[in-house]
């Protein structure tokens, strides 16, 4: 009932030329895969060219960030409205943004509101750090992040949550399927508390952190996991395609 999502977060990788080549290498095959929502999130500068290449296909486009102000003197920033004409989704609150760019729960909340305000679907990232995990604080951390990110947001309108334990991102040390499923079940219960059962049943919650073609089969059969946010492995056409086709076969 919840269509799985596989989103590729390219992070700060690929020149425009490389982005175009990567999409050309997988576009036709990716387009054919059914029962999976396929999302590519290239850097800002490649959104328009990648958007052109996937026009008319079943592949969707997402940005990796936005700034919450409507417009004005914010040199270097990109607003929700600027993205609304280019893509359908936007990653918000990625742990790298929280870690390197000082994004707080309040900032993430404003960004979620800005995205929803123009009809962009946020992929809201939450997840605990290694020390928090080891201290048994995972649930406390993710429920706190969820609450602050969604403060004052009345309707989630297609928002997707990505549970990404920080210790699993880019480390090759993925969570186990059971661990991810358990925390995602907890996140879903939290959403039920913040909204209602229907919202919680319908919202897609992804796992992210060192997902590859070799381990995706561990996550997708888990009942609470509705897909993956894939970093490193989304930069290789054959590997990303394999993640998507395996997900489709397990659906
Ligand atoms: P990774 O990144 O797949 O390279 O661990 C995931 C993410 O940061 O979204």
Is there an atom of ligand 1 within 6 Å of 42 CB? no
Say if residue 32's pLDDT is above 80.
yes
What share of the chain has pLDDT > 70, as a percent?
Answer: 100
Q: Which CATH class is domain 60-236?
A: alpha beta
Exposed, middle or buried: residue 2 (CB in 10 Å: 0-12, 13-18, 19+)?
middle
Distance of CA 147 to the CA centre of its chain: 18
Average pLDDT over residues 155-173: 96
Average pLDDT over residues 238-243: 98
Distance 85 CA to ligand 1 centre (A): 26
0.75 exceeded by the pTM?
yes
- Between CA 79 and CA 120 the distance in angstroms is 11
- Taking a C-beta distance cutoff of 8 angstroms, is the pair 118, 80 a contact? yes
Is there an atom of ligand 1 within 6 Å of 126 CB? no
- Between CA 178 and CA 229 the distance in angstroms is 17
Residues 119-144 have pLDDT tens digits of 999 999 999 999 999 999 999 999 99
- Taking a C-beta distance cutoff of 8 angstroms, is the pair 89, 131 a contact? no
Closest atom of ligand 1 to 212 CA is 3
Say if residue 251's pLDDT is above 90.
no
The better pLDDT of the pair 39, 251 is held by 39
Which of 4, 1, 9, 2 is closest to 208 using CA atoms?
9
For the chain, the domains span: 60-236
Q: Would you state the structure tokens that stand for residue 251, as one six-digit string?
A: 């659906």
Please tell me what DSSP assigns to residue 67: B
Q: Would you state the structure tokens that stand for residue 177, as one six-digit string?
A: 């399927």
All residues at 6 or more sequence positions from 137 whose CB lies less than 8 Å from its CB, including other chains? 128
The better pLDDT of the pair 148, 85 is held by 148
Q: Is residue 1 very low, low, confident or very high in pLDDT (cuts 50, 70, 90)?
A: confident
**From its phi and psi, is residue 13 left (phi > 0), alpha (psi between -120 and 50) or beta?**
beta
Catalytic site positions? 94, 164
Say if residue 166's pLDDT is above 90.
yes
Residues 180-210 have pLDDT tens digits of 999 999 999 999 999 999 999 999 999 999 9
Q: Is residue 225 very low, low, confident or very high in pLDDT (cuts 50, 70, 90)?
A: very high
In three-state secondary structure terms, 151 is coil
- Between CA 45 and CA 228 the distance in angstroms is 24
CB atoms within 10 A of CB 85: 10
Distance 54 CA to ligand 1 centre (A): 23
Q: Is the dihedral of CA 31, 36, 41, 42 positive or negative?
A: negative
């Amino acid at each position: 009932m919840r269509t799985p999502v596989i989103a590729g977060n390219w992070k700060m990788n690929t020149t425009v030329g490389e982005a175009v080549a990567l999409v050309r290498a997988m576009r036709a095959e990716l387009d054919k895969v059914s029962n999976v929502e396929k999302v590519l999130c290239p850097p800002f500068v490649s959104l328009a060219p990648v958007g052109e290449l996937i026009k008319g296909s079943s592949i969707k486009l997402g940005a990796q960030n936005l700034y919450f102000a409507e417009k004005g003197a914010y040199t270097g920033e990109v607003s929700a409205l600027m993205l609304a004409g280019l893509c359908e989704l936007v990653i918000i609150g990625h742990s790298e943004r929280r870690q390197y760019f000082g994004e707080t729960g309040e900032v993430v909340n404003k960004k979620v509101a800005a995205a929803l305000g123009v009809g962009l679907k946020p992929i809201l990232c939450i997840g605990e750090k290694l020390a928090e995990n080891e201290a048994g604080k995972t649930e406390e951390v993710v429920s706190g992040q969820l609450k602050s990110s969604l403060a004052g947001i009345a309707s989630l309108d297609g928002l997707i949550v990505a549970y990404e334990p920080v210790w699993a991102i880019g480390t090759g040390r993925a969570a186990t399927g059971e661990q991810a499923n358990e925390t995602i079940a907890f996140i879903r219960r939290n959403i039920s508390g913040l909204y209602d059962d229907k919202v919680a049943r319908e919202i897609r919650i992804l796992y992210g952190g060192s997902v590859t073609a070799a381990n995706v089969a561990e996550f997708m059969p888990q009942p609470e996991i509705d897909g993956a946010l894939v970093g490193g492995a989304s930069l290789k056409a054959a590997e990303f395609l394999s993640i998507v086709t395996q997900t489709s076969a397990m659906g």
